[in-house]
A and B are shown apart, each in its own frame.
Chain A
Amino acid sequence: MGKDELVSGFVLELRRGTVVLAVLAKLKEPTYGYQLIKELADTGIAIEANTLYPLLRRLESQKLLESSWNTDGAKPRKYYGTTKLGKEVLADLTAQWNTVSKSMNTMLGE
């Protein structure tokens, strides 16, 4: 296995660990899946539709998100937003993230 493959494997793991946090943070304002992909891409977090859509469903089944179909526009869209539990989990995860990133930055900055 070449170096590039190794690195991309590790990067994938890193991203996988942060994507839930990113999604919960973004969905404090309810939006639909495709819009969320674009918003995340704008902030530099690339996630594919075939990963994000199943993830949204999973988080919904875990009661972290709630969804509703909006049929006002030209075509129906499913809007997702965080629940109360989702917001609590987001707060906990954010605290964890801050701790981890602080330690990592301290260590990597040495």
Chain B
Amino acid sequence: MSNELIDRYVYAVSRHLDPRERDEVARELESLIGDMLDERCGVITPTDKDVRVVLTELGTPQEVAMQYSGQKDQALISGTYYLHYKRILKLVLPIVAVAIPFAVLLGFFFDEQTVRTFTNPIQLYATLFGQLVGGMFGGVIQAFAIITVIFAIMERRQVDFSESDLAMDLPEVPQRKEQIMPWEPIFGIVFSILAAIAFLILPEVIGVWFGEADGWIPVFSTSVIRSLWLPIAVWLICGIAKEIVKLIDGRYSLRVALVTTFANAIMFFCAFVVMLNPHILNPQFTARIEGFLISEGILSGTGGEMIAQWIVHANLLFLAIIGFALLIDSLTSMFKAVRSSQKYSDAVAKYPI
């Protein structure tokens, strides 16, 4: 059966389809249309009108193509993914909307040169306002785009969310202690972002005020910190990743414990790389601390000398504190996960799903 109208129709359908299946579907459709025409006309040769009736019955090319490509796959994000997508957007976008202007504000005032170029305060505030609003909208749009892309990929890859689905089905809510309130991870994310901003963009913020004479002395050497941007960025990513898993699961699940421990291990390694850099401390800072301790009479005698030797290794102290905090965090999450999973299996045994 060859007919201009049929050829056009089949083409109109198949051009919407995956190139790999176009030929096969075209052949199938031609065969089907032939059968439908036979049914309608029997041995009589079908007219153009018959063809039109049959094609109308079959549906518009778009409809047929939609059916062939599977309606579910037409949506970028659907089903369970959409539920999680909405939840994450609701949580993350407000954070970004607050954190970005805050960062802009900090950056603006710490960049003294920018401030000095404005003689007129109205002009200064207008520019600042513009940067705040621009930064906020830009940040929100970027975050929206990134989350959408991540979820679209998860939808395509069919990443399993089953653990949190199980949580939705369970009759008993885990005890309050094992639950993670959304504000905890949100606070964690905001803190991570602010800390990373402080380190990467404004390392001089971390410092001590030594009175009018010496002013503000940064603890770390700015240029060395900036050259170590990679481990700091990895630190930030790990910090955010573990909080996102907490947000998704909403309780101390085994997955939260594993991700937290793994992320903490990487974070410790990053801290190790940064803090063990021999030039990380600002020499001015260590000298000033030493001077302060001597003037107060604390550094005298052999004990004092020992302390003086240790001050130049204050970075090791920072590393130890960070390591201890990360260790506590890992242990706590594991402990809570074990306790929570016991309660879970009890609940499941009591009310089988």
Could you tell me which residues of chain A, from 33 to 83, have a CB within 8 Å of some CB in chain B? 33-34, 48-51, 53-54, 57-58, 69, 75-78
A50 to B64, CA, bound (A): 6
Known: A50-B58, A78-B28. A34 touches B35 (CB 8 A): yes
Give Cα distance in the complex from A57 to B1, angstroms.
23
Q: Indicate whether B19 reaches chain A with its CB closer than 8 angstroms.
A: no
**Cα–Cα, bound, A59→B67 (Å):** 14
Kindly state the interface size class of chain A when it binds its partner. 10 to 19
Verify A78–B67 contact, CB threshold 8 A: no
Q: Does B216 contact A (CB under 8 A)?
A: no
Interface of B is mostly: helix
- A78, B31: Cβ atoms under 8 Å? yes
Do A75 and B31 form a contact, CB below 8 Å, given A49-B36, A50-B64, A58-B70?
yes
A76 touches B31 (CB 8 A): yes
Complex Cα distance, B25 from A49, in Å, reads 13
Of A32, A48, A50, A54, the most chain B CB neighbours within 10 A belong to A50
Question: Cβ of A33 and Cβ of B28 under 8 Å apart?
Answer: yes
Within the assembled complex, what's the spacing in Å between the Cα atoms of A49 and B29?
10
Cβ of A80 to closest chain B Cβ, rounded Å: 10
Contact B27 A76 (CB under 8 A): yes
Which A residues are in CB contact (< 8 Å) with B25?
A: 57
Contacting pair B70 A53 (CB below 8 A): no
> Which A residues touch B29, using CB under 8 A?
53
Complex Cα spacing A75 to B33, Å: 12
Please give, as numbers and ranges, the residues of chain A lying within 8 Å of B36 by CB-CB distance: 34, 49
B276 within 8 A of A: no
| B169 in contact (CB, < 8 A) | no
Extra contacts, 4 of them, besides A34-B32, A54-B70 (Cβ < 8 A), are A32-B35, A49-B32, A57-B28, A76-B27
The 3 nearest A-B residue pairs measured at CB? A34-B35, A54-B67, A54-B68
- What are 25 sample pairs from A and B whose C-beta atoms fall under 8 A apart? A32-B35, A33-B32, A33-B35, A34-B31, A48-B59, A49-B32, A49-B36, A49-B58, A50-B58, A50-B59, A50-B63, A51-B67, A53-B28, A53-B67, A54-B67, A54-B68, A54-B70, A57-B21, A57-B68, A75-B31, A76-B27, A77-B31, A77-B35, A78-B28, A78-B31
